[in-house]
Each structure stands twice: as structure tokens, then as C-alpha cells.
Amino acid sequence: MLNIDHEKCTRCKVCIRNCPFGALSLVGGSLHVNELCTLCGACVNVCRFDALSIERKKASPEELARYKGVFVWAEQDEETSPRKPRKVVLELLGKGRELADKLGEELVAVVLAGPGEVDTEVYGENGADKVIVCRHELLDTYSTDGFTNVMCAVITSKKPAVVLYGATPHGRDFAPRVAARLHLGLTADCTGLEINADGQLVQTRPAFGGNIMASIITPFNRPQTSTVRPNVFPVPGKYIGSSIVEEIFPVTLNRAAIRTRVVERRYLDKESGVSIEDARVIVAGGRGCQKAANLELLQELAQKLGGVMAGSRAIVEQGWIPHTRQVGQSGTTVGPELYIAAGISGAIQHVVGMSSSKTVIAINKDPEAAIFKTADLGVVGDAVEIIPLLAAMIEEKASS
Amino acid sequence: MHEIYSKTAPEVDISQVKHIEGFETIQAEYSAYLSDESKLSAKPFDYLFFPKTEVELAAVVKFLNQQKVPFTVAGARTGLVGGCVPQEGALISLEYLDKILDVYRDETSGEWRIKAQTSVSLKNLDSMLRVKQIPTLEQSSDEAIRRHYSEFREDPDQYFYPPDPTEMSASLGGSVVTNASGARTYRFGPTRAWVRGMRVFLANGEYLDIPRGKYFSSPGGQFIVYNSKGGATPITVPDYPQPRTKSTTGFYAAPQMDLIDLFIGSEGVLGIVTSVDVALLRREDKVSIIQFMDSDEQAVTLADALRSEGRIQLDFLEFYSGNALDLLRRLQREEPSTVGMPPIPEDAQAALFIEMSFDPHQEDLDFSILEAVINSCGGSLERSWAGYESRELDRFKVFRHMVPETINGIIAERKKQYPGIHKLGTDMAVPDGHMREMWDLYRSRCEELQLEWCAFGHIGNNHIHVNILPRNLEELEKGMQLYEIFAQRAVELGGSVSAEHGIGKIKAKFLKYMFTSEQIGQMQRVKKALDPQGLLNPNDIFSVEVTA
Amino acid sequence: MKIVVCVKQVPEVTNVQVDPKTGTLIREGVKSILNPFCEYALDHAVRIKNSVPDVSITVVTMGPPQAKDVLIRSLELGADEGILITDRKFAGADTWATSLTLAEAIRTVVPDYELVLVGKQAIDGDTAQVGPEIAEILGLPQITYGVEVALTSTRRQVRVTQEVEKGYEVIEASLPALVTCSKGEVVRRAPSFKDVINARNKRIRVVSANDLHLPEEQLGLQGSYTQVVKVFPPPAKKSNLLLQNLEAADAAKEIFGFLKEKRFVE
């Protein structure tokens, strides 16, 4: 329950404005909480006087059983209109459908969006039973506080058994905040999910840079929450004729609750900003490319193959390419049809980020380079010499 | 004892040994064997052999001996003086003799030793010792070897092989026959100091097992080698004294010397070393420090001061001239990450690179003596970089090797315009007390001729590599003349013209600076006794003009 | 002002191998290092300290007693004091229990902190969760993936250049705040030997479970919500073709043929 320390409370009303459920009010000059409270914790978080606290207990099996449904955070592609989900959301719906069927429960997509138009049909087509839509002008663009508050409200009110987030920058930004506020277990960057005989979610993820896999459960808390890597699970086939139930979830959100302010946006041009996450062909460079100028050779080859250029953490940290193009454990997980690794040694952290590529070609001077273990075709040699020759051959073929 | 008996290996059919015949085929398919790190080019030769065992090697040597075919022996081909680049006859590559044979504790000395075949690379040896995993011993069919190995594994301490001749892809055997040295020679001595035994095949195909401390020359300076047929070969040890510096020029000689020392540093002209026993040392935590100084002279002074301060024990003491630092600065401006270190301080005009024992967990670190010495020479410990984590030591090591690599890059670039250009790097050491004088000579002569140059290296052993970077052929010519002047002066001061890696073919001409023709004659008589037909590694040490 | 930097000791994972027989990590010969992203966070703290007066940096780590090494390393690199949170009772903590313990220790030992900097993730666990969880527990605004961190002229806000998928956004938040850092100097700093010696004279406070106002059931394994049930080596890699000793032109031809065969070029 929500405890109010009336001695510490200054009646500043910040919590009242921030309660998504309208559960707080001033009654006779002191703060009062009513039965609408879901213990989402938004008020505790905004109180600057430590006047609010929530007592939480570990749930009993009976309590756990009251949590039902697999929820997927349907991250919106902010570039689209009407708003459509990112590809990873569809991947999660596919996996979520499997989990929901095993549990015999619903699969629900949760959309947080601004007042503009949202495509909700797509969730039904990809297996969801229901879509919960949370709309507010402050949700039009992402903010940690705004999304945390609303997600906490949805979870405390709907009590799902499982919540899945894409392990995208935003997903990894606010999922841990939601988990910390609601005292939930959260497993990061999962690459495998299944339901065991006890109905528990078994989450598998790489650790130690991918040298080892760990399976993790959350035995005493609900919901069980995970962030899941993009490009690990397939996008499901279309569910034809599935209808979707749409539920509007009322949102209370105050500008003051959002404590960060974007003062400048420096987006890279379209070309360098092109998403490597969804690319069909990637030509990636590593330290073996020797210098930044040589990356143009890779760029040219990528263009000829209808793909994009990317790179390893090593060259991103040297400033040769922007972070938006970093493949690997601390960058983006990619899953293209074709991945050409040029001068990349294949540190396990890199391999983890590209191992779901369908076809891999690696070029490296060092015959012992680890990247060769992952490659369908490995060539020992100098990428800087080989790549332009290859590009020329493709050019020749195209023009003949 | 000064008498030793050679043994024969079992017979094996020569046709079973992997070999390539004909220079054209070798050129087309085995081009790597036409040169080594020195980039010296081979002259046409007829056979390339790859013996997989000592028995096969014995058969090859016997065959070549019968046919009177001269033969050159190659290990990892990392030498800088063309020692293993054939000029005629045959080339025997020992690359398949690359197994660790045993790790054992010597009862008398208590030290751990490695017995290994000649082509084990120093790099592999080091990494196997780091993780204490040696697959060939684990899988050995010999129960005693497996027992030794598990005793070694159970020893809680870490061990390493102290000689560190910079080029870690070198082979162990190659480093023994060249008596290789490097930065750590400052504290641990050259390779010679760590060799405890060897097996060496002679030109007649028979072999000697020579443990250290068993065969010494007679008071008259003689060894006698008896072959399996009872024939006796007397060898008279030369009577010249060794220079008072580290040296790898010519044969080692001393009164009542150990036979093993004759073969160490002999550059393979007396026999083929197929396996060695070397001692290991307990590994200690280290710190690397790059101490920046205001001028080259200040750094030379500090080096002298550090060496003469008996209370400071450094593992190595290396020098970087101001113009060497400038080379790195230029590299850093172009691509900061390639150097892997923060920007070199603008006011640094020279640097000393030191490494010493350091326990990062010790509560009260007292380096006040070191600090006092540095301060007294005008330096400050605040103007230094230090690192002790293993990845930091690796990073510092890469930095240490960056100057020579950068120079090689520059020379390669200039070669495109002037194909005749090559690097001029000295390898001279002088006795203590003469470094400053030698430095002044290097500096004044290079500046006088307005050459592009820089210097770095083992100042702890008074052994700085001066590198001249000729910008055209005229400068190359001037540089080569300087080289001879430097070499003569080094010898006059009682030093050595080749302190680090032998003289092979490329530096063979310097032998006459250090030795009289009588002394060279003594060396050649040793060679003649052990290799009467002169088949082994022709033209190494004794260049054509000298032998003629 | 006080800046707290949370740091973690991690194995140098590029060397970590898994024993194929037992499925466990081979730790022999594997060194421990300061997590690179934590070093970046410290790097930003040092840069702030060098650019404005009256800044002190406290580094905090939770781990076994030998985790002190990363505190010392941080002190060499410019931090002013260290806090080692160590107790057998903290063992087995998941990200939640770790965050709770770290947050409580910061609250207790450095109550006057104004900025908390952490690495965006640790290279062993790679969860990227501890930063945001600490922020939530301490009730701080958070900015993740920072590559530039500075104080505004009033020193009341932190201004962070954040990596986002499309490029960069510059974000401000009022202090106190927490920033997770994704990049620092291109080349790692090198302390002077004087710094190395002096670091050993700086203060390191040791915090145990008794020093924190947390019930025992919220600590370590007991306080963790997630449980590891199985650890196993990653699935075997696919079989492959490795071509060696080719001239560049031949290598290009081979690759071209392969691309044609797989229909990437028509």
C-alpha cells in the first residue's frame, strides 16, 4: 500500500498532478489516496520530500496466478504517419504469440503515442489479440520519464504475466526504470524465450560478451519482464482476417514530470543515418581497414550491392563512422541477408551483434581471426586491396 | 671434461623427407623462403627440405654431406642480417621441429626448465607459460613428462622465459644460435645466460647432447669430439678476449669455456641446434614507465644516473631521442588511435622507457630513490606515463615498438621513388662510461650532414640504435659512410658492432673491425674442424671476401 | 560539487573462453580490468573537474574485496576518493539488488552528490540496466548513452550529448541527475607514475551491509528477482570455407563467384 508521511508532506500537489489514475487528492488539507491507486509508484518518484513510500511484498503463487497475458511494448517508428511499429515489435509479437498460446492467455500490444493517427490493424495481422493505446501529446516523442510513468500505469492496472520490450536504445532506457519502480525482475537482451512446465518465462541471454549463455527465471514477481534483441526472432506470417480489440487507456501526464529537455537535435544526414538494423546487405569495416579514408571503398561496395556500410566498435570509437552504424553487443544487432566483414577480427562482442546474418563473408589478414569461425566464406587477405577489385567486378558485370 | 662423443641417429630413407627440388619450383611455390626479415634476396638454390623429425634431419644432412652440397638452415626467418637466406645449394627449414618436449624442475638448481624443439616461437612459448597450458605435454605418451607437467601446473607461481629479443615471432632455436638480446638483457643478460642444454647436429649428420656445466675446454684451450666411428676432431678455442659489452659478433671464446657457449651465438655455422633446454624465472608484477625529459642529453645523463644507482633495479632502460618522439607526434596528429597513447606532451624532447618490479597491492609504495635520481637530472615523475595492468603493459610495449615500425613505413614509402634506398640502423654497443661520447658523435655527425635520423633503444646496455632515413641515394651513400665511422669508433672504445642479433651475411663485413685477421683465422679453424667441407650456412659470419 | 562515478571490475572478456566439457568459464590467466564504459564515465568526470573549480570525484564500486583494484585505478586516473561496497551478503545480486545497494550506499555515504556518472553497460553482463535502476531508486532524471557531458554555466543543470539512432540529441536535466556514458577519449588516459603512487595515499572507505539501511532480505541473491537456472556454451558455429594464400585479384574473383552463386549479384 501507499504510505503517506504527513509530517514530510508539504502539500505541493506535484504528486496529484502526476498520478496517472487520479488516485491522489487533498482532503481537508492533507494528502489522501483513494481506491484507484494501483501502486504504480509515479508519485513516489516525483515527491521531493520523501513523503511517499510503497510497501511491496513478494507475491504468493496464488497472487502470481492473477497476472495474465503477454504484453509487448509496441515501439512506434516516429518517422511514420500514421504511426507504425518498428520491425522488432513484429518479431516480439511472433514470439509473444507462441508464449501466450503456451500459457493460454492473451497477447496484447501496448502503444504509447501522440495524438496523431496510429495504425492498429497491424497488431492483429501479426498475432495480437488486443491493442492498448495510450495517447498523450507528451508521448509523441520519447522521453524516459513520460514513457516510464505511462508504462507503469498500464502494468499496475492490467497486471500482465509477461512484458516484452525491444532492446532498442529507448527500450533499454526505460525498461529498467519501470522494473525498478515496480520492483520487477528484468532480463536484458534476451535471445531466447520460452515457457517452462511451471508456466515460468525462461529467458536466455548471452553473457561475458557472448562467450556463455545464461537461462534466467523470475520466480517471485509478476510481470516477468525482458528486453529482446532485434533481428533474433522472425517476423511472423500475416494472420489473415484476425480482428483486433482496441482499448484506449486513459493517460494523465504532466509536463513537469518530464525532467529532461532536448535542447538541440543533430541528426546525421539521411545517407549516414540509414538504419543498419533493417538493412538487407551490410558491408562492415574494422580496424584492419587501416584508416578512415579506406571506408569509402566499403561504402562503394555496399552501394553496388544495394546495402549499407557499418563497422565494429573499434572504428566507431576512433570516430571513423558514427555510432549509428556500430554492429555488436554495445551497438546494434543486425540480421541482414548478406554480411561482409572487412578487416574485422571478430571479437565475440561483435559476433554477437551479427551472428543472425544469413550469409557471412569475412576478409582478414590474420588466418587465426575469430571472424572466420562465423563466416560462410573466409578469405585470408587484405580487405583494402580486395574490396575495390570486387567492386570493380560487380560494376563490370552490371554494365555488360 | 673436454672430450665429447657424437652419436648417430637411426637411418631413414631421404626420399621420405618432404622436399622441393629445382629453383623454379621453389620460386613459384615457396617464394617466402627466398628471403627473411632482412629482405636480402636469395641466390638460386636447388633443394628445399622440410624435415619433420631429428631423424629426418640427420638423413638430409648426411645426404648433403655425401653430395658435397652446401646448405643453409632456416628457423622462423625473422633475422635482420640475412643469416638464413641461401646463396647456393640447399635450404633446410626447421619449421616442423616446433614441439615443447618437457617442463621439469632441475634438482640441483631448483629452477624450472623448458626442453623444446628449435622452432617453438617465443610468442607461443610465452603464451603457453602465461596460461600454463602446454597441449603437447598434456597429451604426451611419456608418463614422466605428464607428471612433470602436472607438477608445473600445481606450482602456484607464474613463470616466464626472460630473454625478450623484441621480435617475438622468432624461434627459440634461432634466438639461441644468435644469442639474441633485447630490452630485458639489461637485467637478465642475453639469451646465453638462460640456455641450460642443447642438442646440436654436426655437418656429418651426427649429433652432440651438450648440457651446460659438463664439457669445458682443457687448460690448453682444446675440445676433442669423437665421432661414432672413433675418429677424433680436435678443436682449439680462440684466445681473443670478449668485448666489455654485450656482443653477438663472432664466436664466443674464453679460457676453460663451456662447450655449449661455443655453439650459442655461432649463427649456425658450427652445427644445427635442434632442441634446447632453457631456464624459466618466476614472473613478477611489473610497471612500465615512460619518463619524458627536456633534451636528449638530459635523458642520456639520467640513464647513466639510473644505472649507477645501485639501489634501483630496473628490468630495462630504453631511450627515445627527441626526433624519435617527433616521428610519433606526427603519427598521432594524423591518426591519434594508431599510437594508442595520449598525446605526447608538447615539451617532451626525449624519453626514457623503464620497466621494473612493482606490486600494485602494496600499501606504502616507496619510490623516493627513483624520484630523487630523476629530479637530480632535471626530470619529474609528474611528467611520465605509467601502467602495470597486463593490458597496459601490452599497450606500452606496442608504443615502444612503434618507432622502428614507423621508420620502416617511411623507408618503404621512399623506396617507391628510389628503389635502392634502405634503412640504416646501427646495432653498436660501447662499454659503460662511453655512451655520452658515442651519443655526441652520433648527433654531431648526423646533424653536420643534415640527415634525417633518430635514435632509440637499449641505453641501459649503452646500445642505442641510430637510424638514418635517407631521402635520396646521395644521403644513403653519406649514411653508409657514417655507419662505418660509428662502427670503428665503437670498436675503438672497446665495444661491439653487432650487439643484438649476429652479423649473418649483411653485417659480416664488420667482423674485421672487431677482430684481427689472426683472430678471424682462429675462428675459421674452429669452423673447419667441425665442418671440414665448409657446407654449413655458407657466407654467414665469414663473408666471401674475408674467407678468400 | 561532488560527482559520483560508479565503476565495475570486469574480466577482460576478450580472453574469456568456455570449457567445452563443463560449460563453465575458464578464468585461468584472465585478468580483471576497469570496465571500459566505466572508464569513459570517469573520463567525463575528470574533464568536468578540469574545467570548473571545486569539483571532487568519488568512485563507488560493489564487489569482492579485490574490486578495490578498480578503485585504485580510478584514483590514479583522477578520482579523489573511493568507496568499496563489499560484504558476503551482497554476493549473487542481480541488477536490481545491485542497483538498490549502490543507490543506498550513495545516499548514505555521499548524501551531497549532485551528479552520478556510470558506464552505459558492463562488458561482462552487458545489461545496461544498473544505471537507469539507480536513477529510479534515487529519484533522479537520467540521460543514457552520453558522449559529451558538461555543466551549464549556472552549474545547476547537466548538458549531455546523447547518441540516438538518428545521430545526436543534446539534452539537459536539472541536477542532481544521472548520466550513463558510452564513449570517452579516443585513446585511454595514461596516469603519471606520480599519480600511480599518490593514488595509494587517497582515501578508500569500505562499506558493508551493516552500514546500509536495508533489510537483509533485500541484499544479494536473496534480494534478487531474477535467478540464473542454467549456464551453457553458445551453440556451435556453422561450418565454413577458408581460402588462404590468394593474390588479391583471385580473392576478389572467389568472392564474386560466391556472391553470384548466392544470387547477391545477378
Helix, strand, coil percentages (3-state) for chain C, rounded to 5, are 30, 30, 40
Pick the residue from chain C with its C-alpha nearest to A268: C167
**What's the average model confidence in pLDDT over B198-215?**
96
- Provide φ and ψ at B261, rounded to 5°: -70, -20
Task: Please report the pLDDT score of residue A244 as a whole number.
Answer: 85
Say whether pLDDT at C239 is over 80: no
pLDDT in tens, C20-40: 555 555 656 677 899 999 999
CB–CB contact C192 B360 (8 Å)? no
Out of B287, B341, B387, the one facing C187 most closely (by C-beta) is B341
Which candidate, A271, A319, A200, C14, places its Cα nearest to that of A311?
A319
Asked, as a colleague might, if the bond just before C64 is cis with ω within 30 of 0, I would say no
> pLDDT for A92-150, tens place per residue?
999 999 999 999 999 999 999 999 999 999 999 999 999 999 999 999 999 999 999 99
Assess whether the previous peptide bond of C176 is cis (omega < 30° from 0): yes
Query: For all residues of chain A together, what is the average pLDDT?
Result: 88
Q: Say yes or no: C21 contacts chain B, CB-CB below 8 A.
A: no
CATH number of C2-218: 3.40.50.620
Rounded to a whole number of angstroms, the distance from the CA of B362 to the nearest CA of chain C is 9
- Are B506 and B38 a contacting pair, CB within 8 Å? yes
pLDDT per position as a tens digit, C38-63:
999 999 999 999 999 999 999 999 99
Q: What is the pTM assigned to this prediction?
A: 0.83
**Chains contacting B (3+ CB pairs below 8 angstroms):** A, C
Say how far apart CA B514 and CA B481 lie, in whole Å.
17
Q: How high is the pLDDT of residue A290?
A: 85
* pLDDT level of residue B35 (50, 70, 90 thresholds): confident
Helix (H) or strand (E) run with residue C251 in it: helix C248-261
Nearest chain C alpha carbon to B153: C28
Closest Cα of chain A to B54: distance in Å?
Answer: 28
- pLDDT average, residue stretch B123-134: 90
CB contact under 8 A, B340 and C187: yes
> C229 and A202: CB-CB below 8 Å?
yes
Cα torsion A178, A179, A180, A181: sign: positive
Q: How confident is the model at residue B545 (pLDDT cuts 50, 70, 90)?
A: very low
For chains A and B, CB pairs below 8 A equal 5
Chain B residues within 8 A of A291 when measuring between CB atoms = 335
**In the prediction, which pLDDT does A13 show?**
85
* Residue in C33, C69, C190 closest to B385 by CB: C190
To the nearest whole number, what is the mean pLDDT of chain C? 89
Nearest one of C18, C19, C14, C57 to C33, comparing CA atoms: C14
Measure in Å the smallest separation between the Cα of B201 and chain C Cα atoms: 33
User: How does pLDDT run across C155-183, given as a tens digit for each residue?
Assistant: 999 999 998 888 899 999 999 999 999 88
pLDDT of residue A269: 67
Chain A positions in Cβ-Cβ contact with residue C186 (cut-off 8 Å): 317-319
Question: Please, what is the Cα angle at C16 between C15 and C22, to 5 degrees?
Answer: 145
**Is A291 in Cβ contact with B337 (below 8 Å)?**
no
Q: Is B469:B482 a contact under the CB 8 Å cutoff?
A: no
What percent of the residues of chain B are helix, what percent strand, and what percent coil, each to the nearest 5? 35, 20, 45
- In chain A, which residues have their Cβ closer than 8 Å to the Cβ of B337? 317-318
pLDDT class of A343 with cuts at 50, 70, 90: very high
Give the pLDDT confidence score for residue B547 in this predicted structure: 36
* Measured distance CA(A149)–CA(A111) in Å, rounded: 14
Q: Do B389 and C72 touch (CB under 8 A)?
A: no
Contact criterion met (CB < 8 Å) for B367 and C193: yes
Predicted local distance difference test score (pLDDT) of residue C16: 60
Q: Give tens-digit pLDDT for B405-422.
A: 888 888 888 888 888 888
* CA–CA distance, B406 with B410 (Å, rounded to integer): 6
Q: What is the pLDDT of residues A150-196, one digit of tens each?
A: 999 999 999 999 999 999 999 999 999 999 999 999 999 999 999 99
Chains touching chain C, criterion 3+ CB pairs below 8 Å = A, B
The closest CB to that of C255, out of A172, A348, A379, belongs to: A379
As given in the structure block, the three cell numbers for residue B26 are: 621453389
- Of A47-51, B84-88, B110-114, B373-377, minimum mean pLDDT range: A47-51
Which pLDDT score is estimated for A213? 83
Report CB contact under 8 Å: A213, C232: yes
Task: State how far the Cα of A92 lies from the Cα of B507, in Å rounded to an integer.
Answer: 70
Q: Which residue of C has its CA nearest to A329?
A: C126
B140 CB-near residues (< 8 Å, 6+ apart): B146, B149
Asked whether B316 and B181 are in contact (CB, 8 A), the reply is no
CA angle A342, A347, A352 (to 5 degrees): 95
Cα gap C206→C200, rounded to integer Å: 15
pLDDT in tens, B41-71: 899 999 999 999 999 999 999 999 999 999 9
CA distances (Å), origin A321, targets A299, A364, B188: 11, 19, 46
Under DSSP, is residue C200 helix (H, G, I), strand (E, B) or coil?
coil
ipTM of this predicted complex? Answer: 0.89
Residue C19 has pLDDT above 70, yes or no: no
CB C99 within 8 A of CB A180: yes
Going from N- to C-terminal start, the domains of chain C cover 2-218, 236-266
Using one digit for the tens of pLDDT, what is the confidence trace for A209-243? 677 788 999 988 899 999 998 888 988 888 776 67
Which of A316, A318, A368 best tests the B interface by mutation, with the highest count of B CBs <10 A?
Answer: A318
Closest to C163 in 3D by CA, of C140, C178, C176, C179: C179
A11-20, B139-148, B208-217, B308-317: lowest mean pLDDT where? A11-20
- Type of residue numbered C25: L
Residue in chain B closest to C12 (alpha carbons) equals B391
Which among A173, A216, A349 is the nearest to C144, CB-wise?
A: A173
